[in-house]
Structure 1
Amino acid sequence: MEIREVFVDIGLTIVLVVSTLTLVWRVWQDLTMAVATTLMMLSLGGLFLSLSYKVWRLEESVVSRERTMRVNMEELSRTMAQKYDNTVQHIDTTVSEITRRMYR
């Protein structure tokens, strides 16, 4: 996860908490309500950060699996090509052997 993305998320969470605190303090002027609302917004911001981190981990997992599948597909392709070449070589040998027998 890039550090810039984390700073942006943390900055937005701070703005969310400060704006909520300012709004509540201005409207109700009640310390308990302001603290409770600030904690609620702080937990909401933390939830966004946690969700962002989980999405990032999921993306990394998908990229890793895609890379693994690509390597496996390449290896499977090489194996199949080798088997194909062996089969063609065997068929060519058999055909040439049959051709030699027919001309005798």
Structure 2
Amino acid sequence: MDLRDYVWDLILIVVLVVSTLVLVLRLWQDLTIVIGATLMMLSLGGLFLSLGMKIRSLEENIIARERTMRVNLEEISASMNRKYDRTVDQLGEIVDSLTRRMYR
């Protein structure tokens, strides 16, 4: 994962924190409220960022599993086609041998 994937998420977190600071601008007298609100918005932004990373990771895992399943299905299909062809050939040989026996 590249940092460029998360630029917009990081920008939105910064906007979230700045908007929180603007909202509590009148409460600068009480530093505890300002720090608490800022930490709360930072943790909320971090939560959103973490959730986005997990969703992207799950999406990549699903794509990898789908690709693996597709390859496995193709291999199974090729194997079944080979078995089908062998069975048809064997049945053809059996029918030929039976028809030869009947005409003798």
The TM-score range, normalised by the shorter chain, is over 0.9
| Residue 4 of structure 1, CA deviation | 3.9
Give 1:8's aligned residue: 8
Give 2:84's aligned residue: 84
| Residue 21 of structure 1, CA deviation | 1.0
Q: Structure 2: where are the runs of 5+ without partners?
A: none
Instruction: With the length of structure 2 as denominator, give the TM-score of the two structures.
Output: 0.94
Give 1:59's aligned residue: 59
| Residue 5 of structure 1, CA deviation | 3.5
Q: Structure 1: where are the runs of 5+ without partners?
A: none
* Number of equivalent positions: 103
Q: Give 1:1-104 correspondences, 5 Å limit.
A: 1=1, 3-26=3-26, 28-29=27-28, 30-104=30-104
Q: CA RMSD in A?
A: 1.1
Instruction: With the length of structure 1 as denominator, give the TM-score of the two structures.
Output: 0.94
